[in-house]
Amino acid sequence: MVKRRRKRYGVDEEGNKVDGGGKVVKKVKPEDVMGEGNQVEGEEGSADLLVYRGGTSGDFLVSLDESVEKSLEGEGEGDVAEDLRPRRKNFRMRAHCNVLADVSFPYPLSPDSINWEAHFPGSKESGKVVEYADVGCGYGGLLINLAKTFPSSLCLGMEIRDKVCRYVRQRIVSMRKEHDGLFNNASIVRSNAQKHISNFFHKGQLKALFFLFPDPQFKKKNHRRRIITLALLSEYAFVLQEGGRIYTATDVKELHDWMEEMLEAHPLFQRVSKEKENEHNLVHAILNSSEESSKVDRSGGSKYYNVFEKVTPTS
């Protein structure tokens, strides 16, 4: 029996589905990429302003409450006003996914396209912007810790797995309802930060980026998929302010050495001294707050970390 090879499809710059040769197989519909409610005037009259690409369910355009309510309705779990505390057993997924796969889901064209007020109530009036980002935030352990540690700052989790995102959204909304007035500074977006991080943050915006227990990508051919590479560090440096920090944590010594080597080789980063690295007790937080860190503790594994800061390159 001869096995037929499956055709590989991707997405072009316009969001159209294309085959391996770049031929358009299915054209994207205007409503699949248009945002709602934003109007611009043109020669043809009024038209919707393009604010995101890749699909119809951009979670950066609606509030967490709306997003959670839609999720609960879809699963038949009742009204959003009921007990929202999520249960991990209902949101299990594979630990990692292929970040370079041709998977298309919405992403903003620029940070200004995002409805930040929907994520952080009161942020529009205060003029605050996100200052701390947990990339690959998982089930939100560190994100919640950051929101407590920096109550006056906005903290954003970025996660590529849909089910995990829904869990964290529900967790945040639940905590907001249980602790009135608190945790309005925490939110999450579903995103592929390795491709689109500069679509979410302006130049020099962030005080810190966190990369906790990322996919080790053990095979040499997959090292290009790792979350820390020289090319990606340049992207991270763009969104970090001067003196902004990168925190990494892993239980895989080989991956730790790789990330350390990449950070030391990049001209825009230097290691933070032992005396200064644990400001705000963040080293303890990155090693103990996340669900992945708890798994390592239960298995008796070791944990390794790096703390580097952005610097001006010397001429």
50 known member of a binding site? no
Least confident stretch, 45-54, 66-75, 205-214, 271-280: 45-54
pLDDT per residue over 68-91, tens digit each?
Answer: 555 555 544 434 444 556 555 554
Q: What is the CATH number of the domain that holds 93?
A: 3.40.50.150
| DSSP annotation string for 32-68 | GT--SS-EEEETTEEEE---EES-S--TTSS-HHHHH
Active-site positions? 215
* Tally of structural domains, the chain: 1
Q: Write down the pLDDT at residue 24.
A: 76
Buried b (16+ CB within 10 A) or exposed e, 201-224: beeebbebbbbbbbbbbeeeeeee
273 known member of a binding site? no
Q: How many CA atoms lie within 13 A of 287 on its CB side?
A: 12
192 known member of a binding site? yes
- Name the strand (E) or helix (H) holding 146: helix 141-149
Report the chain's mean pLDDT, rounded to a whole number. 80
Alpha-carbon distance of 71 to 147, in angstroms, equals 24
Q: Write down the pLDDT at residue 280.
A: 92
Alpha-carbon distance of 65 to 280, in angstroms, equals 30
209 known member of a binding site? no
63 known member of a binding site? no
The structure tokens 């991270």 sit at: 236
Q: Is residue 289 part of a domain?
A: yes
- Name the strand (E) or helix (H) holding 262: helix 253-265
What band does 67 get if pLDDT is binned at 50, 70 and 90? Answer: low
What band does 12 get if pLDDT is binned at 50, 70 and 90? Answer: low
pLDDT per residue over 111-131, tens digit each?
Answer: 999 999 999 999 999 999 999
16 known member of a binding site? no
Least confident stretch, 6-10, 98-102, 153-157, 175-179: 98-102
Which residues, in sequence order, are CB contacts of 77 under 8 Å at separation 6+? none
- Letter for the amino acid at 136? G
Q: Write down the pLDDT at residue 103.
A: 56
Q: Write down the pLDDT at residue 46.
A: 27
Q: Tell me, what DSSP letter sits at residue 288?
A: H
Cα 7 to Cα 18, 21, 25, distances in angstroms: 11, 11, 12
Is pLDDT at 173 greater than 90 in this prediction? yes
Confirm if 53 and 107 have CB atoms less than 8 A apart. Answer: yes
291 known member of a binding site? yes
Q: Global pTM? A: 0.75
Q: Which two tokens stand for residue 163?
A: 């089910």
Identify the top-confidence range among 104-108, 124-128, 220-224.
124-128
Least confident stretch, 8-17, 18-27, 102-111, 292-301: 8-17
Q: Of the candidates 141, 267, 257, which has an alpha carbon nearest to the alpha carbon of residue 210?
A: 141
Q: Write down the pLDDT at residue 275.
A: 94
Q: Write down the pLDDT at residue 248.
A: 98
136 known member of a binding site? yes
**306: helix, coil or strand?**
strand
What band does 161 get if pLDDT is binned at 50, 70 and 90? Answer: confident
Alpha-carbon distance of 114 to 158, in angstroms, equals 14
Read off the pLDDT of each residue in 54-80 and give the average, rounded to a whole number: 51
Q: Write down the pLDDT at residue 202.
A: 98
Which residues, in sequence order, are CB contacts of 230 under 8 Å at separation 6+? 262, 265, 266
Angle at 13 between CA 10 and CA 19, to 5 degrees: 25
Q: Is residue 152 part of a domain?
A: yes
Looking at the DSSP bridge assignments, the partners of residue 245 are 208, 309
Q: Is residue 201 part of a domain?
A: yes
For residue 53, give its domain range: 47-310
Which residues, in sequence order, are CB contacts of 62 under 8 Å at separation 6+? 115, 118
Question: What dihedral angle (degrees, nearest 10) is formed by the CA atoms of 290, 291, 295, 301?
Answer: -10
Could you tell me which residue, 271 or 46, shows the higher pLDDT?
271
Q: Is residue 14 part of a domain?
A: no
Could you tell me which residue, 95 or 272, shows the higher pLDDT?
272
Q: Is residue 197 part of a domain?
A: yes
Q: Is residue 17 part of a domain?
A: no
Alpha-carbon distance of 142 to 144, in angstroms, equals 5
Q: Which two tokens stand for residue 101?
A: 């796969």
Q: Is residue 11 part of a domain?
A: no
Q: Is residue 26 part of a domain?
A: no
Could you tell me which residue, 62 or 196, shows the higher pLDDT?
196
pLDDT per residue over 226-257, tens digit each?
Answer: 999 999 999 999 999 999 999 999 999 999 99
What band does 18 get if pLDDT is binned at 50, 70 and 90? Answer: low
Query: How many percent of the chain have pLDDT more than 90?
Result: 57
Angle at 163 between CA 7 and CA 247, to 5 degrees: 100
287 known member of a binding site? no
